[in-house]
Structure 1
Amino acid sequence: MDAKLSARLLIVLSIAYGAIVSVLAALHSQAGIIAAVIGAPVVGGLWVARAVFTDKRDANRT
């Protein structure tokens, strides 16, 4: 998987995560708190893993 594809996938995942947490919060659901507490470190960890394991030269290539 190249750097651009992984970035796009993580952006879509981040948007979907934000939308889910927003909907659950708007519905005053207890699951919204759980999703936020568990999901934020998971999504953040995926971004960190991408930054650590992505070849920097591949990311600069067009």
Structure 2
Amino acid sequence: MKRQTAIDYFGSIPKLAQALKITYEAVRQWGDEVPELRQYQLEKLTDGALKAGQESRPQSVA
């Protein structure tokens, strides 16, 4: 999953970081791809709107 896809879903880096209970700086260090374990965490947090291991463009919650 692309980092930008997750950011777009949550609306901003701070909101994404808050949802994952991590820092803004941690999200900034990811590069283009969300780390694999974070992808699974995001899939669970979004009830499958974001899928681990694939690139998709879900509708934003914002």
Normalized per residue, the structure richer in helix is 1
Larger radius of gyration: 1
Q: Structure 1 length normalisation: TM-score?
A: 0.27
